[in-house]
Structure formats: C-alpha cells, structure tokens
Amino acid sequence: MSQVRATCNNTEGSFTCACDAGYADNGTDYKGVTCTPCTPGQFKAVNGSGACEACAGGSYLNVTAGTVCLACPANTDSLMGSDAIGDCTCNTGYESSNGGVTCTDVDECGAGSHTCDAVQPEASVMHALLLYILMLSDVLT
C-alpha cells in the first residue's frame, strides 16, 4: 500500500483531505484521496486538489514530487516541461566550449563567422558595454 501524501482534517461526521505540494489528486482510494507525485518536468507548488503543471520554458525539474522548477543557467533556454539541466541549451550567439551548459558569448568578428568592418571601433566598444550590462543584470537578479 502506498503512503497517502495528503493533509487531512477532521470535520463533523467526516474528514477532508488535500494533496501535499508536489502531489496531484488523481482520483480516490479507500481514504477518499489518491495523491500521485508530479513527474520530472512538472511541479505543484501548494497543497490542494490542483493538477501538476509543466515547468515553464527556461526552467527544468529533474525530480518527482517537485514543488518548484529550477532556472536554466545564464545564457541558456529550455522548452516547457524540461526534466533535466541538459535540456537547457545555449541561446543564439552563445556556445558551450566544454559540452555542458556553461555558455559564453561568441565573438563573431574574431571567429570570422560574420563580416565585420575593422574601421568601426565603436562596434567593439558597444559589444564590450553590452557584455558588461548583461553581467551586471546577472549579478543583480
């Protein structure tokens, strides 16, 4: 017999039960509630009779009975319902040099993948400024 993952309260002549966070009510068993764990890629943040929800894009959850999805690392994204950090892939303009989810900015000019005019030093200054702003936004969030 499985453990009921619910909070139950005695009422006059009966009782009520609500599934714990991370568990969804999928019917009834002999005690009036059947709570099943949310699968990886899904979560349920609060107690109650609600269903499990898919993790939003840009996040993942790799455990069962999860209550909160984890954010993908900086400069990565994932599809809705992702169940592993490996589902977080580098955003356009970024690449992983180690095969993992650490993504760094691609220097398209230096790599020769973009035609860059060497007479425009303000472009490299703007690129450096943009990188600095992005770094600050990661630190402040």
- Asked if residue 111 belongs to a domain, the reply is no
Whole-angstrom Cα distance, residue 112 to residue 114?
A: 5
- Asked if residue 79 belongs to a domain, the reply is yes
pLDDT for the residue 2 = 47
**For the domain that residue 101 is a member of, what is the CATH number?**
2.10.50
Look up the domain containing 66 and give its range: 6-106
Number of structural domains in the chain: 1
- Asked if residue 48 belongs to a domain, the reply is yes
- Asked if residue 68 belongs to a domain, the reply is yes
Whole-angstrom Cα distance, residue 109 to residue 93?
A: 12
DSSP type of residue 51:
P
How confident is the prediction along the chain (141 residues), in pLDDT tens digits per residue? 345 688 888 889 988 888 999 999 876 654 667 889 999 999 999 998 889 999 999 999 999 999 999 999 999 999 999 999 999 999 999 998 776 678 999 888 876 666 666 545 566 677 777 777 777 766 665
